[in-house]
Amino acid sequence: MNLIVLSALDTSSRDSGMEHLRRHHRDAITLRYDFGDGNRLVRDVAGSAATEHAEAALEHPCIGCATKYEILPTIQRLAPADSETTMILGLPATWPSGRLLEMLGNKLEPLNIQISSITLALDPIELENQMWDRHTLWESGFNAMEHDERTSGEFFFTELMQADTLVPVEGLETQLLESAASPRRAGGSDFTAGVELARQMAPHAQICVHDEEPGSFHPAAARRRTQAGHLPRITAAADNAPIRLLAERPLHPERFREALPSLAESCTCIRGVLWVASTLSERVAIGGAGPRVWMENTGAWDSHIAVSELLLYGSEHEASQIESIFDQCQVTEEELNGLFDSTHHQGGEWHES
């Protein structure tokens, strides 16, 4: 059996995404989950399987408990012997598909079930605003887990890299309030602009609209894309290419810290790696979604060439303006000479005087 895993920020986008996938797989089994009050996991089964609507009370409203005690047993129970059957699994809003894959591990292979696609349904009209939302997912009302400190931008930062297929859908507000000729409708100028932003941030993914086929899941490729510091391949000549910043000398830690707010404010999303003078031997990954920016030490450079490289997505600024700010973060020739003299005597760490 082939399993398509569908994630989304909100239930409306998730449900529209499931409808879209059903048009490609008319004989599919659909399995949809939502969280209710009191740690209740609500299950709906439809499509080519017998209709079900049931609830399971969980001790904790977490992916681990839900997968172990409800989702995996249900997949196993519903999976037919026919290996050509497709099941579409719609995850609760805000659930990261990668976390589900971790929990499933190698448990699907003995059941003769393979994941054929990881799909993300999104409303392109709201994508940029959601990337910039400062509230947590709980504060914004997207999920019921008060301790989930992620923002909607952080959700998309990961899911856009995890997914092999993007399904752009009209948001609920657009469906209810906008006229057929509105630029916010599918195919309209605002909708198309949002799709292009998603395409820029996930150049590997198949954009599945109308009759386009969903993409295919390749575990090794997904693992590479979701590693901290991963830099997607870009075509510099493309109209929607992100701004690429490259520094072949180490970054001065204080100057980069001061410049970082300006870099973050200039774009919707940041991906990259840093070579910082204060930790010359360490490769530092940087990510940013709207107002949130984070860094992670990923260990020694090893076979990697030590450089700083950033990709800035959704920027409305001139590339030359951003490049100038970034260039000034590099150590000068004088600082560079002093830096390597210093590391020779101080074991690889640069100490500012």
The CATH number assigned to the domain with range 2-225 reads 3.40.50
Say which residue, 237 or 22, is predicted with more confidence.
22
CATH architecture of the domain formed by 243-346: 2-Layer Sandwich (3.30)
Which residues, 6 or more positions from 222, have their beta carbon under 8 angstroms from its beta carbon? 98, 118, 161, 162, 164
Confidence label for 340 from pLDDT (cuts 50, 70 and 90): low
Helix H or strand E segment including 345: helix 333-346
Sheet strands (E) in the chain? 2-8, 29-36, 40-47, 52-57, 86-90, 114-122, 165-168, 206-207, 243-247, 269-274, 282-289, 292-300, 308-313
3-state secondary structure of 351: coil
> Between helices 319-327 and 253-265, what is the axis angle to 10°?
160
Confidence label for 302 from pLDDT (cuts 50, 70 and 90): confident
Two domains, one topology: 2-225 and 243-346: no
- Which residue from 152, 135, 131, 140 is spatially nearest to 201, judged by alpha carbons? 131
pLDDT at 352 over 70: no
Token output for 20: 């879209």
pLDDT at 287: 97
**Most confident listed range (27-36, 76-85, 133-142, 158-167):** 158-167
| Tens digits of residue pLDDT in 60-111 | 778 888 999 999 999 999 998 767 899 999 999 999 999 999 999 889 999 9
Confidence label for 233 from pLDDT (cuts 50, 70 and 90): confident
Average pLDDT, the chain: 90
Domain ranges of the chain: 2-225, 243-346
**Most confident listed range (142-146, 200-204, 344-348):** 200-204
Task: State the Cα–Cα distance between residues 185 and 177, nearest whole angstrom.
Answer: 10
Mean pLDDT of 313-328: 91
pLDDT at 48 over 60: yes
Confidence label for 333 from pLDDT (cuts 50, 70 and 90): confident
pLDDT at 349: 45
Mean pLDDT of 184-192: 95
| Tens digits of residue pLDDT in 131-149 | 999 999 989 888 867 678 8
Task: State the Cα–Cα distance between residues 277 and 263, nearest whole angstrom.
Answer: 19
